[in-house]
Amino acid sequence: MAGVEEEEAFEHTLLVVREVSVYKIPPRTTSGGYKCGEWLQSDRIWSGRLRVVSCGDRCEIRLEDPASGDLFAACFVLPGQREAAVETVLDSSRYFVLRIEDGRGKHAFVGLGFGERNEAFDFNVALSDHEKYVKREHEKEAADGGEENDDGQIDIHPAVNRRLKEGETIRINVKNKPSTGSGMLSSAGLSGGASAKPKASMLLAPPPGSAGKLRSPLPPPPNDPAAARMNSGSNAGIRAPKEPAKRNSDAFSDLSAMKQNLPSSTESAQTKSTGAGWAAF
């Protein structure tokens, strides 16, 4: 009893269709398949509810009474045997042929019909979902079993001794870095040497207003009339400040000026003699 309850707890309903029809079908005459066009309405033997249930690896298609829930027939789909248990007909997508069993080893083939195409499509999807579920479970069990086997195996290969033996040496070739500037100095256009020159991009640009002007390396001569006209036109109304008189640092320059102002001794003697002559007259 406990085992039956445990099995029922793992049942999962995949699809429920409220009303389907079951037909008594004639034996298959050819190996091509069944045709629902050969079934007559008088061959319908039952109508009721269909339920697709997943029970572990097995999928069950149960035909039940909608009022009482009594089981009319069941079709068991085992892993890898879907085509043997459920077969599609050749002339319609709403009809199938089921292989039903009575649980005592006897089986029979009956026709199954859905009223709508969507119900028949959902029936196919439910069977496909069960097959995918079983496949995933088998792959998971295989992966878990492989991991357990790997853990149980013992590595018999000895560890490789990579230590240097006595007298062995290791030679490492290191490339010398160039002595020129590198890193942040090279990216900024500078180098560590004293003779390094900055790049042209590091020089300051001239001011914007002086781009169209050209400066003469030497000033024009003082008596140049062209320069005088230019200065008079540009500096009209502006007086240049007077330069303060330069103070002569020569101590004897004043004496030379006084000498020029005073009369000479000869001129004074002539003046005296002339004055005496006039006095004699």
Q: Is residue 124 part of a domain?
A: yes
Closest CA to 78 of 134, 160, 8, 37: 134
3-class secondary structure, 53: strand
pTM (two decimals): 0.49
Q: Is residue 271 part of a domain?
A: no
Q: Is residue 116 part of a domain?
A: yes
Q: Is residue 49 part of a domain?
A: yes
CATH number at residue 21: 2.30.29.30
**Cα-trace Rg, the chain:** 62
Closest CA to 182 of 197, 192, 171, 172: 192
Q: Is residue 99 part of a domain?
A: yes
Express each pLDDT in 215-261 by its tens digit.
555 666 666 676 667 666 555 555 555 555 555 555 555 555 555 55
**Distance of alpha carbon 50 from alpha carbon 94, whole angstroms:** 14
Q: Is residue 148 part of a domain?
A: no
Q: Is residue 226 part of a domain?
A: no
Number of domain units in the chain: 1
Express each pLDDT in 89-146 by its tens digit.
999 999 999 999 877 778 899 999 999 999 999 999 999 999 999 999 889 888 876 6
**Distance of alpha carbon 120 from alpha carbon 157, whole angstroms:** 60
Q: Is residue 174 part of a domain?
A: no
The domain containing residue 125 runs over which residues? Answer: 16-143
